[in-house]
């Protein structure tokens, strides 16, 4: 089996990894709100977009629901990351995201990412 091209992966350099990375975005972030998701963003330190996920138990109780939301957001980011400006972003979920269909969540994250361009 061959490896996926680099643009189709989600490597470490496009993720927010440390608490300091997350805190930097939370401290002074722009905000895009959707019905189920909120996107916080700030100009990146590097030259490419980076993604962090903060899907808390407070809003999304079951682990399987949190993981489903994270998979959808990561996939949308992965497919659009080459077109995104150099920003660090964090995606937060509201409680309504639990009952939202996959297509609705995907359409919403696509809209939020499009607004950044």
For the stretch 90-108, pLDDT in tens is 999 999 999 999 999 999 9
> Domain boundaries in the chain?
18-116
Q: How confident is the model over 13-34, as a mean pLDDT? A: 93
Q: How confident is the model over 60-68, as a mean pLDDT? A: 95
Has domain 18-116 been given CATH number 3.30.230.10? Answer: yes
Is the pTM higher than 0.85? The answer reads: yes
pLDDT of residue 6: 58
Sequence-distant (≥ 6) Cβ neighbours of residue 66 within 8 angstroms: 55, 57, 60, 93
Q: What tokens appear for 45 in the block?
A: 């330190």
Phi, psi of 73 (to 5 degrees): -65, -45
- Residue 78 above 80 pLDDT? yes
The model's pLDDT over 46-57, given as tens digits with 9 standing for 90+, comes to: 889 999 999 999
Judge whether 25 and 16 are in contact, CB under 8 Å. yes
């Amino acid at each position: 089996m061959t490896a996926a091209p680099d643009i189709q992966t989600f490597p470490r350099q496009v993720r927010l990894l440390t608490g300091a990375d997350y805190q930097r975005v939370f401290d002074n972030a722009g905000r895009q709100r959707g019905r189920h998701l909120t996107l916080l963003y700030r100009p990146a330190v590097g030259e490419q977009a980076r993604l962090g996920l903060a899907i808390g138990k407070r809003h999304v109780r079951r682990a399987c629901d949190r993981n489903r939301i994270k998979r959808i957001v990561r996939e949308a980011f992965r497919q659009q990351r080459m077109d995104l400006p150099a920003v660090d972003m964090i995606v937060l979920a509201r409680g309504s995201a639990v009952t939202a269909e996959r297509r609705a969540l995907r359409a919403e994250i696509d809209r939020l990412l499009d607004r950044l361009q």
